[in-house]
Structure 1
Amino acid sequence: MTEAEDWWATAISDISPGSIRLRGYAIEDLIGSVSYPQMVWLMTRGSLPSAAEAALLELTLVAAVDHGPQAPSVAAARMAASCGLDLNNAMATGVNLLGDVHGGAGQQCMEVLRSLVDSGQPVGAAATALVAAYKERGAYVPGFGHRFHPRDPRRDPLMTAIAEAVADGTVEGRYVEAALALEAVLAGGARPVPMNIDGATATIYCELGFAPELGRGLFVLSRSVGLLAHAWEQHNEPTRIKGPLPRSANPTYTGPPPRTLP
């Protein structure tokens, strides 16, 4: 039996008849004693956060919940719901669109911030060099700029909160310094490129010690709430098989003109 019991060995959950323990804590003790952000931290990190750390994590989970059907993931979830799929399938459809291009900027920004902090250079010089390298290859610096908002309204409350956390000693502030240095360099161009939600949440996740891969997972976790809400709303609407365009609009055709088959 030892080989079978070790097949899915885990340090996360200990389940037996009448007993559920998560990271060693009995579920009946956790219920009513810890918040959802604390539970997320416990499950992904193995320990309970401080109240201040949990409050920062909660801010990120609230901020990234939804961005309307302008977001392809939300539109896809709604289309799936209009095709009669159950809520879990509609949500999964939206989640599966969250990859490197749509949904991956937070993880990518965390990796950038880590590289700046670990570079051994003054953070301002490192940020200047990084932006120059991105410009040279025509790439976007992840976590900055937004296709919809001239200035992302979620940036300021998140960055204010992390600045206060630095001031009270909850976090060190090295990644805040790196993020603000990047923003300062990007503000000096022909068109200023302010930080967006991905940059702000990446800063908080780095300061809290999350791995970049978990940063993406936390974004997916947050956005799933929006996907659920939109899928449910669409589920309760009468329109069926709702595609990306209304029936009155046809995509522009760019192929050959009408022709006769030889």
Structure 2
Amino acid sequence: AVLVSSLDHGVTPPSTLAARNVATTGAPLKDCVAAGILAFGPHHGGDIESCMRFLDGGLTLMRSGKTLQEAADAIVVECVDQSLVPPGFGHRFHARDPRAVRLFQMALELELEGEHVRLIRAAERALDERQERFDRPLPVNVDGAIAAISADLGFAYELGNAIFLISRLPGLIAHAHEERTRQTPMRQIDPKDHDYDGARERRLPEGRK
């Protein structure tokens, strides 16, 4: 579920554009995919590790005697006082990220909800109370949900961004292959001017849902 939640979903991400731009030169598939991977950074695919570190800071405060909500308030205030959005919060389009909602629901159902998930939910409440400092809602996003759940599963924060990378690899391969086999070499790629001509919407049989 974690990997599915971050799957490639269009041609606009910088990593997708990087893979396609290299593919249009006729470069081998592996080089195109490598270009896409190299496009990941702090503003694209880098929030999971940052959020895991953010949560570790809160857990350190809890171990020193603070309550869950006190620790959450402290780490949120540290960001807000610098006019920074905490890593793992907010989304360009969603007022409430449905992927995060579903991941938290699954963590609860599977009894995987641990101290990191509880802390990030407390941090979300703390951020809600300070929403006037920002011009939009800042719910936990899919990166934040993945960070908290992965940390509760025992993943080290250094592996956080690798989870996102693994999830995006199939999409990068598909985009690069399509560019190499269907498009004109050396074309100028417009991320907004495109039409989908693939398979129509398909319904899974009831037994496979």
Q: Per the shorter chain, which TM-score range?
A: 0.7 to 0.9
SS at match of 1:94: helix
Tell whether 2:100 aligns with 1:155: yes
**1:214-235 superposed Cα distances (whole Å, 9 cap, x missing partner):** 1111211111111112112222
Question: Where does residue 94 of structure 1 map in the other structure?
Answer: 36
Q: Percent identity?
A: 39
Whether 2:108 is the aligned partner of 1:108: answer no
Does residue 163 of structure 2 align to residue 218 of structure 1? yes
CA distance in 1: counterparts of 2:67 and 2:187, whole angstroms: 52
Equivalent residue number for residue 144 of structure 1: 89
Is residue 200 from structure 1 mapped to residue 145 from structure 2 by the alignment? Answer: yes
Residue number in structure 2 paired with 1:236? 181
2:20 aligns with 78
1:182 maps to 123
Normalised by the size of structure 1, how large is the TM-score?
0.66
State the Cα distance separating 1:244 from its structure 2 match: 4.8
Post-superposition offset of 1:243: 3.5
**Amino acid of the residue matched to residue 42 of structure 2?**
D
For residues 184-233 of structure 1, the C-alpha deviation after alignment (integer angstroms, 9 at most, x for no partner) is: 12223133211111001111110100001111112111111111121122
Q: How far off is 1:172 after superposition?
A: 5.6
Structure 1 residues 79 and 177, CA gap change in structure 2 (3 angstroms): same
**1:163-197: CA deviation from partner (whole Å, max 9, x where unpaired):** 1233xxxx361111101011112223133211111
Conserved? CA contact 1:186–1:192, under 8 Å: no
Secondary structure of the equivalent of 1:192? coil
Amino acid at match of 1:63: S
> Could you say what secondary structure the match of 1:161 adopts?
helix
SS in 2 for 1:179: helix
Structure 1 residues not aligned, in runs of 5+:
1-58, 249-262
Higher Rg of the two aligned structures: 1
> Counterparts of 1:172 and 1:219 in 2: how far apart (Å)?
20
TM-score, length-normalised on structure 2? 0.81
Tell me how far apart the structure 1 counterparts of residues 29 and 93 of structure 2 sit (CA, whole Å). 28
**Counterpart contact for 2:57–2:75, Cα < 8 Å:** no
User: Paired residue for 2:207?
Assistant: none
Which structure shows the bigger proportion of residues in helix conformation? 2
Greater relative contact order: 1 or 2 (C-alpha under 8 angstroms, separation 6 or more)? Answer: 2
**Offset of residue 154 of structure 1:** 1.3
CA distance in 1, matches of 2:173, 2:128: 36
Distance 2:158 2:33 in 1: 20
